[in-house]
Amino acid sequence: MSGPTESRAAALAVLRDTRRGILADIAFDNAARDLDQRGRAWTQELVYGTLRLRGRLDHVLAALSARPLGRIDDDILDVLRLGAYQLLEMDSVPAYAAVSQSVELARRTARSAAGFVNGVLQSLRRAPAAVTFPSFEADPVAHLSTWGSHPRWLVERWLTRYGAEAARRLVTSNNERPQLYLRALGQPRAVQALLLSQGIEVEPVSFAPGALRVLNGSAAAALAAAPVIVQDPAAGLVVTYAGTTTGSVIDLASAPGGKALSLAAGVGAVEGRDGRPFVVAADRSRRRLARVTDSAARLQRSAPEGLGQLGIAAVAADARTPPFRAADMVLLDAPCTGTGTLRRHPDGRWRLAPEDIASLAALQSELLDSAAGLVRPGGVLVYATCSIEPEENELQVAAFLERHGEFDMDQQAQVPGGQLEPGLLDTDGTLRVLPHEHGVDGAFAARLRRRAVA
């Protein structure tokens, strides 16, 4: 054996980088840059599957290893996880190849560990069903943190808030492979027909205006064929919930720009093309802002009759000290724990710590106070997160309203083309999308209207 395959070596590199704090999607793009399309797809399944089921794999490995997992070198533990995932979840991989390739990967990493890796994985190969898991009925925390593959502290939070059955559905939902969704920036039927003409089949998402689920075809092909962006329906629902304006909009944490582009395109607007707002897309990162301007240029090229000149400007700015004049609408899609997107970003569940909720809530509070000063009298502040934690959502909004008596909760939710489905709106008028209830990412949004000057 000459050594591990390039795909497996790339997979280990991704896991190593995620341990160092690099986001999995960035780490994957870096490590898989030289792989062909088939190798890239195979590596993506291995990496994201291993991250998604890490807790389950660790339970199995702990039962088969004579050495506690905490005493195993981090790289070697990741080699074991990758090998275990291939044995348990990838039917296309012969068992002998999963073991022998893992041994080669270990030998390249730490030669002395090759025998240990071989012994553990051979045990799993001989008896893959020998390891048992705690039962949900007897110990839901242990079951959902091992078989369910979520951090124990997060499971405990969700059990307290949602109850056992709903928490299990949430964990199960997070472990499903994410589907590919698009947002049509134009008439959805026309966009759907344009995609179909290029062999890309999609279907509308019933509860999310403008959202399309891709049945076959790649994101790259869809982006080249039609005025669409890749966007989960939950993120699109935030834009729909925000509503439209013919005035000015500031998106304070814009990149990669999906919400800003949707607003600039006037998605769902009844005023027509002349009624579009002018959107300032702000972000601290100039590199990430480049994606906004590139996407705007692509959208204008891909529309059959053109979208017209999108009124959008990308500006590098810190949302804590925004250098803008007041606007009719301010969107703050705040940095958050991302607990609503753990299906799409499985590395997030292992990166988070309990104290992160409080630290991010403090940052969100600071950003909200800055955003409030940019809203004109009578204008709207839309606060949004992709978290499902109350400290970042409803409790954050309640604290803001206590500090800012000039704002009220806007329960009208003026949505072009009709109201959102009742199940998406809470009793206080906020938007709440839950993965286990709606089958998409989780999201929260609140419309906060500044009182007009008397």
- Burial (CB count <10 Å: 0-12, 13-18, 19+), residue 180: middle
Q: Give the whole-angstrom CA distance, residue 21 versus residue 347.
A: 10
Compute the radius of gyration of the chain from its Cα atoms.
24
386 as an active site residue: the answer is: yes
Q: Is the previous residue joined to 94 through a cis bond, with omega within 30 degrees of 0?
A: no
Residue 8: CB partners within 8 Å, gap ≥ 6?
Answer: 43, 46, 82, 101, 102, 105
- Burial (CB count <10 Å: 0-12, 13-18, 19+), residue 220: exposed
Q: Give the whole-angstrom CA distance, residue 171 versus residue 133.
A: 16
Of the candidates 369, 339, 332, 344, the residue with the CA atom closest to the CA atom of residue 433: 339
103, 184, 386, 443: the active-site residue = 386
Taken in order 162, 165, 166, 169, the sign of the CA dihedral is positive
Q: How far apart are the first and last CA of the chain?
A: 80
Pairing of strands 248-251, 278-283: parallel
Give the catalytic positions in this structure: 386
